[in-house]
Structure 1
Amino acid sequence: MLQTGCDSTPCGPGLCGAGLRRYESAVAAGGAPADPPVHCATELGLLEPAVGEPGLLSPVTPAIAAGRVLTPLEETLAEGRRRLEALTKTFETAEAVFEGARQRGPQSSTVLRGAHEIAETIDAAVGTAKSELLTAQPGGRRPPEILETVVRRNLELLARGVQQRTLYQHAVWNHPPTAEYIRTVAEAGGSVRTVDEMFDRVIIVDRTVAFIPTSSDYPDEALEVRDPSIVWYLANVFEYAWARGTPVDPAVHRRPEIVVSEIEQSIIRFLVAGHTEEKIARGLGISRRTVAEYISRISRRLGSVSRAQLGYLIATKGLLSEAEGERSPASDPPRP
């Protein structure tokens, strides 16, 4: 007798020890009793009722039994493979159609290269503005030839009823042509505010398209953004900075005292953080000489004779905490 080492538990897929022993007995004797039932062997087709002999099971050649059981499975697997291949080709076709349609449709972002292409694209978008133009211009000055072009465009938009809000850094008050430009725009109905520190340049037209730099390393590149979520995010950043800004009053022809105060507070924060005069100047959009003048003024007021002593006096006299308090807006900016 075959020693299987298993009883009613399967020795292999679907075959138990009792069924295997019954099958061995049936092969040796030409048949085996049907009782007790051995479902694992009969379900695999290795044993089947004997013809004309009730209560007896006849053995079936393994090759025949295997053909009966495995052939339908192989056909099912083959059909599954055919369906898999067909579906794979279908999705490959769909992917090609998807990519083609997306390339033909409007791009969510486009890199613009070269000053001419950037200027033409922005001018075209701004020229079609219907309701709103948001602009943030970091730095302390703009070339006079650019100001002449921009002021004409802004006045035309205002005449068409397009609302304009522009953010500059406080440093523009140190550049008379730029200061005169923002007063001209404000007198025509545009809203202009200045802030001490600012994020990078951004132009947002009707909250549907925005233009931002790609990197400070590539001054002749810009990114045209049309993704609604990104444009919304950029507009929200603008709104936050706008809430902190100091409004430009066209009737006032000198730098507001609050601007002087905020520049001074920003310099105090930079000093305590250990930044150099050059880095402070870049951050605030003013000259290094102007930074040095502010630091000298603060030092004289506090009676400081060295940079180390100045930092100590700023901390002990509570100037840093006052600056931080002034920096925080009284309320959250409105959501776009």
Structure 2
Amino acid sequence: MREVEQTGPSLLAQDDLETYRAVAAGAPPAVTASVEALVDLQLVEGDPYRPGHYIARDPRAAAQDLMSDALAALHRTVDRISQIPTVEALAADYDPHRWYGGPGSEYLGTPALMNARILPLTDGAALEVYSAQPGEPADRDPEILRVGAERTAAACRRGARVRSLYNSHAWDHEQTRAHIDSLIEAGAEIRVLGAKFPRMVILDRTHLFIDNLVVEGAGAHSGWHVSDRAAVTWAHLVFDLIWDRSMPWQSLSGATGAAVTTARQRAILQQLEAGHSQQQAATRLGLAERTVTKELALLRERLAMRTLYQVMAWWGQSPERELP
């Protein structure tokens, strides 16, 4: 009997069925080519007394044989599937000897999914916890900040190096400023940068979390978990380059103590200095145009100047251009 295939054409074509019915009725086969298929399935056999003629066999017996063969094949398939994890486990012996990148990346479509992935990995990080947070500071639930500060302190106690990069506007936001001071007290290194930079979290040079720039129409704060070794290492290099250009939080305290401008105003002036209009500056900084107009009006008032041209002339020679 032929072995039943896992996939493929039907066991019996229409011609095969008509041939079997003819043989069962004692007539010559309807289609001679179908006889071989029926013999193979043990549905018919040659008539020993009449050469060229065939005798029909009980199809129920043939069906039972087919079912037994199919179950045996299924058992072999299930057994083979059960052994696949043993094959996959060999990756532990393969990866250390080759620069294999890893499984790649995974899209996480909601903030809840992002947090569910980031937080356990952060709690287990033993070497490094690096984060870059370019967003505008805003009032947050004090309990969330407390838990975040405790998580940072726990990482420092484990011996992990904790580095966090913030938007320089953090200095102008009282709650964020107090939170950062608590992180520094716990052992974290904090720096700020006035220029734009990408959001990212890097854990032990093994896991990278970044904003979603791929899936169109996705919800806010969706992102990607990247575990490819080359990509994570490259992101770590980018973080280091940005870190080297930023200002330590403690240095910012003395530098901005007597500053006329705020971090937001400096960011606006930098955009105008680069040749952008107020509307363009607002778009590039993620601000409302009326916010840009208000900030410039406040600065003119503080400088006792009547026009924006006077402000830009002052800015061109101001040492505050070096502040983040």
Work out whether residues 166 and 193 of structure 1, in 8 Å CA contact, stay in contact via their aligned partners in 2: yes
1:180 maps to a residue whose letter is A
**Which residue in 2 is equivalent to 1:274?**
276
**Which residue in 2 is equivalent to 1:112?**
108
Q: Report the TM-score, using the length of structure 2 for normalisation.
A: 0.56
**Which residue in 2 is equivalent to 1:72?**
none
What's the RMSD between the two structures over aligned residues? 3.9
2:133 maps to a residue whose letter is Q
How many angstroms apart in 2 are the aligned matches of 1:258 and 1:240? 27
**Which residue in 2 is equivalent to 1:75?**
none
What aligned pairs does 1:1-336 form with structure 2 within 5 A after superposition?
106-142=102-138, 143-144=140-141, 145-215=143-213, 218=218, 219-249=220-250, 256-257=257-258, 260=261, 263-272=264-273, 273-276=275-278, 280=281, 283-284=284-285, 291-299=292-300, 301=303, 303-305=305-307, 309=309, 314=312, 317=313, 319-320=315-316, 326=322
Work out whether residues 214 and 221 of structure 1, in 8 Å CA contact, stay in contact via their aligned partners in 2: yes
**Which residue in 1 is equivalent to 2:43?**
none
Count of matched residue pairs: 222
- How far residue 262 of structure 1 moved from its aligned partner, in angstroms, is 5.9
- How far residue 249 of structure 1 moved from its aligned partner, in angstroms, is 2.2
1:131 maps to a residue whose letter is L
Q: Residues 259 and 206 of structure 1: is their aligned pair in 2 closer, same or farther, counting only changes over 3 Å? A: farther
- How far residue 213 of structure 1 moved from its aligned partner, in angstroms, is 0.9
- How far residue 117 of structure 1 moved from its aligned partner, in angstroms, is 1.7
How many angstroms apart in 2 are the aligned matches of 1:184 and 1:254? 20
How many angstroms apart in 2 are the aligned matches of 1:295 and 1:255? 18
- How far residue 303 of structure 1 moved from its aligned partner, in angstroms, is 3.7
1:172-193: CA deviation from partner (whole Å, max 9, x where unpaired): 1232221111000011211111
1:223 maps to a residue whose letter is W
Q: Residues 114 and 164 of structure 1: is their aligned pair in 2 closer, same or farther, counting only changes over 3 Å? A: same
1:98-144: CA deviation from partner (whole Å, max 9, x where unpaired): xx969x99521111122222111001211111111110111222522
SS of 2:250's equivalent?
coil
Structure 1 unmatched runs, 5+: 1-96, 329-336
- How far residue 287 of structure 1 moved from its aligned partner, in angstroms, is 7.4
Structure 2 unmatched runs, 5+: 1-83, 93-101
- How far residue 260 of structure 1 moved from its aligned partner, in angstroms, is 4.2
Q: Report the TM-score, using the length of structure 1 for normalisation.
A: 0.55
Work out whether residues 133 and 167 of structure 2, in 8 Å CA contact, stay in contact via their aligned partners in 1: yes
- How far residue 255 of structure 1 moved from its aligned partner, in angstroms, is 5.4
